[in-house]
Amino acid sequence: MENKALELDKKDPLAHFRSRFYIPENTIYVDGNSLGLLSVNAEKSLLRVLDEWKSLGIKGWLQGERPWFYFAEQIGEMAADLVGAGPGELIFTGTTTVNIHALVSTFYQPQGKRTKILADELNFPSDMYALQGQIRQKGLDPKKELLLTPSHDGYNLDEDTIVSMMTDDVALVYLPSVLYASGQLLDMARLTQEAHKRNIPIGFDCSHSAGAIPHQFSQWGVDFATFCSYKYLNGGPGCTAFLYVNQKHFDREPMTPGWFGFVKEKQFDMLPEFEHARHAGGWQISSPGVLGASTMEGSLQIINEAGIDAIREKSLRMTTFLKHLIREMLPGDHGGFTIITPEEDLCRGGHLALAHPEIALRVNEALKARGIVPDFRAPDIIRIAPVALYNTYHEIHQVATALKEILESKEYLQYENQRKPIS
Ligand SMILES: *Cc1c(COP(=O)(O)O)cnc(C)c1O
């Protein structure tokens, strides 16, 4: 099997991208779904902007190589094809949770009988908190107005159940593209179509799919979306996020206005009444954090050069290979682990999730002690994300081998069942 891995690496058309990333020393890094790695291109664009600040001062807003004043719009354009956004539909701004507030405050307009937000019980906690807060902002009670699609197995969602809950009291549907724990990919095209049949606007959090999977927001007619840039988009810790608004909504009023959402040509007229830009940029709130955001330029160069379709193809091959190895090397009950990520390619994102009712945390610690970086999600999940741009099939083989050895030798017993603040 090791030979098979080496052979796959040799034939891999994306293999050369690895040398453009800084891989932490003596580490097999399979946590790119949580924090992607730094590339030389991202480092370069960051240092360039730092240098512009040094040499240009305030003139950088218009005289930077990529003028800071237009940075958010231009990076949005650079990323548009990744998610199938049309002109003006994508802007690089805010952070995921801030963008959820900015978007949901506009798109959640409870009226008459339609007062509820339909979400799911497995979404990322920050998304849940934001939705609860938005319901309270409208003077309503989240306990009554937030409908959560239940999971049948505690890990995944059933799309038919989601659709059956799109009833005539629902004012907005808000869902993740890929579930952060199990890695299930929802059929965004179908869910959008079903929501629209019932006249319900729909938005997605694509933090776990952007940069790993192609999207067609515009073609699918998605009303709005947001996604962070520090996972598969490799922007760096807390990097600026993206915000998508379908062009059919450009005239709608941003409900969390700020001066960077003003009509660009008139922003510096400093007028007292807000007049929003008629594109996704209208939802910007503050000055862009250009320094922290500057990595994205370099990072997108690499992703665009590789192409999102090629990235997706390799990512699926890698997770398939990992599944195959786990089944071969840990025959029978796979050491008590269950692969909870859906089996079909069309239903899974970029990582593989393994659940164990008792020892997931300890095994995760044992992997880390061996220089492998996956991550743990409470209460029982280990996530492994082989990233197309910088991981190798050989590394996947090493991860599977380590897992087998740890389980066979019971090496995990050396580690406590106690979580650190970030695992
Ligand atoms: C990563 C992630 C977030 C993170 O939110 P921040 O505001 O960037 O801290 C939120 N929601 C989902 C679904 C995520 O995957």
CATH number at residue 125: 3.40.640.10
Specify if 422 maps to a domain: no
Task: Give yes or no: residues 190 and 65 share one domain.
Answer: yes
Q: How many CB atoms lie within 10 A of CB 95?
A: 18
**In the predicted model, what is the mean pLDDT of residues 87-97?**
98
Domain extent for 272: 46-304
Q: Which tokens hold the place of 1?
A: 């099997």
Strands 381-384 and 116-120: unpaired
* pLDDT of 198 strictly over 80: yes
User: What phi and psi values does residue 409 have, to the nearest 5 degrees?
Assistant: -85, -5
Length of the chain as a residue count: 423
* pLDDT of 130 strictly over 90: yes
Task: Give yes or no: residues 258 and 277 share one domain.
Answer: yes
Specify if 268 maps to a domain: yes
- 280 contacts 245 by C-beta, under 8 angstroms: yes
The predicted pLDDT at position 151 comes to: 98
Percent of the chain surpassing pLDDT 70: 100
The predicted pLDDT at position 1 comes to: 86
Angle at 33 between CA 322 and CA 396, to 5 degrees: 25
Task: Give yes or no: residues 242 and 285 share one domain.
Answer: yes
Closest CA to 137 of 123, 117, 120: 117
Which residue, of 271, 304, 337, is where some domain finishes?
A: 304
Give a three-class secondary structure readout of the chain: CHHHHHHHHHHCCCHHHHHHECCCCCCEECECCCCCCCEHHHHHHHHHHHHHHHHHHHHHHHHCCCCHHHHHHHHHHHHHHHHCCCCCCEEECCCHHHHHHHHHHHHCCCECCECEEEEECCCCHHHHHHHHHHHHHCCCCHHHHEEEECCCCCCCCCHHHHHHCCCCCEEEEEEECECCCCCEECCHHHHHHHHHHCCCCEEEECCCCCCCCCCCHHHHCCCEEEECCCCCCCCCCCCCCEEEECHHHCCCCCCCCCHHHECHHHHHHCCCCCCECCCHHHHCCCCCCHHHHCHHHHHHHHHHHHCHHHHHHHHHHHHHHHHHHHHHHCCCCHHHCEECCCCCHHHECCCEEEECCCCHHHHHHHHHHCCEECEEECCCEEEEECCCCCCCHHHHHHHHHHHHHHHHHCHHHHCCCCCCCCC
Nearest CA to ligand 1 atom 8: 96
Task: Give yes or no: residues 277 and 389 share one domain.
Answer: no
What average pLDDT does the chain have? 97
Query: Residue 87: pLDDT band by 50, 70, 90 thresholds?
Result: very high
Kindly give the distance from the C-alpha atom of residue 354 to the centroid of ligand 1, in angstroms, as a whole number: 21
Instruction: Report, in angstroms and rounded to the nearest whole number, the Rg of the chain calculated over CA atoms.
Output: 22
Nearest CA to ligand 1 atom 3: 96
Q: What are residue 224's DSSP bridge partners? A: 203, 245
Give the integer Cα–Cα distance in Å for 314 and 309. Answer: 9
Q: How many CB atoms lie within 10 A of CB 40?
A: 12
Task: Give yes or no: residues 197 and 247 share one domain.
Answer: yes
At 168-189, the pLDDT tens digits run: 999 999 999 999 999 999 999 9
* pLDDT of 25 strictly over 90: yes
CATH number at residue 345: 3.90.1150.10
Specify if 35 maps to a domain: no
Residues with CB under 6 A from ligand 1: 95-97, 124, 126-127, 176, 180, 205, 207-208, 228
Task: Give yes or no: residues 230 and 94 share one domain.
Answer: yes
CA distances from residue 348 to 209, 383, 404 in whole angstroms, order as listed: 10, 13, 24
Specify if 423 maps to a domain: no
The predicted pLDDT at position 137 comes to: 98
Kindly give the distance from the C-alpha atom of residue 97 to the centroid of ligand 1, in angstroms, as a whole number: 6
At 345-374, the pLDDT tens digits run: 999 999 999 999 999 999 999 999 999 999
**In the predicted model, what is the mean pLDDT of residues 50-71?**
98
Task: Give yes or no: residues 272 and 371 share one domain.
Answer: no
The predicted pLDDT at position 331 comes to: 83
The predicted pLDDT at position 357 comes to: 94
Which residue, of 279, 304, 329, is where some domain finishes?
A: 304
Kindly give the distance from the C-alpha atom of residue 235 to the centroid of ligand 1, in angstroms, as a whole number: 14
Task: Give yes or no: residues 245 and 256 share one domain.
Answer: yes
Give the integer Cα–Cα distance in Å for 92 and 284. Answer: 9
Specify if 275 maps to a domain: yes
Specify if 420 maps to a domain: no
Task: Give yes or no: residues 341 and 247 share one domain.
Answer: no
Kindly give the distance from the C-alpha atom of residue 411 to the centroid of ligand 1, in angstroms, as a whole number: 33
**In the predicted model, what is the mean pLDDT of residues 7-17?**
98
Domain count along the chain: 2
Q: Which residues contact 423 (CB under 8 A, 6 or more apart)?
A: 361, 364, 375, 376
Give the integer Cα–Cα distance in Å for 398 and 412. Answer: 17
Specify if 71 maps to a domain: yes
**In the predicted model, what is the mean pLDDT of residues 380-394?**
98
The predicted pLDDT at position 368 comes to: 97
Kindly give the distance from the C-alpha atom of residue 210 to the centroid of ligand 1, in angstroms, as a whole number: 12
Strands 352-355 and 381-384: antiparallel
Mutate to test the pocket of ligand 1, among 180, 185, 186, 233 (most ligand atoms within 8 A of CB): 180
**Taking the CA of residue 59 as centre, how many other CA atoms within 13 Å lie in the half-sphere pointing to its CB?**
7
The predicted pLDDT at position 280 comes to: 98
Give the integer Cα–Cα distance in Å for 176 and 156. Answer: 12
Specify if 37 maps to a domain: no
Nearest CA to ligand 1 atom 15: 207
Give the integer Cα–Cα distance in Å for 199 and 239. Answer: 34
At 223-267, the pLDDT tens digits run: 999 999 999 999 999 999 999 999 999 999 999 999 999 999 999
Q: How many CB atoms lie within 10 A of CB 124?
A: 18
Task: Give yes or no: residues 295 and 157 share one domain.
Answer: yes
The predicted pLDDT at position 421 comes to: 80
The predicted pLDDT at position 264 comes to: 95
The predicted pLDDT at position 69 comes to: 98
Task: Give yes or no: residues 108 and 197 share one domain.
Answer: yes
The structure tokens 């020393």 sit at 25
Task: Give yes or no: residues 349 and 223 share one domain.
Answer: no
The predicted pLDDT at position 210 comes to: 98
Nearest CA to ligand 1 atom 2: 207
Which residue, of 254, 278, 304, is where some domain finishes?
A: 304
The predicted pLDDT at position 328 comes to: 95
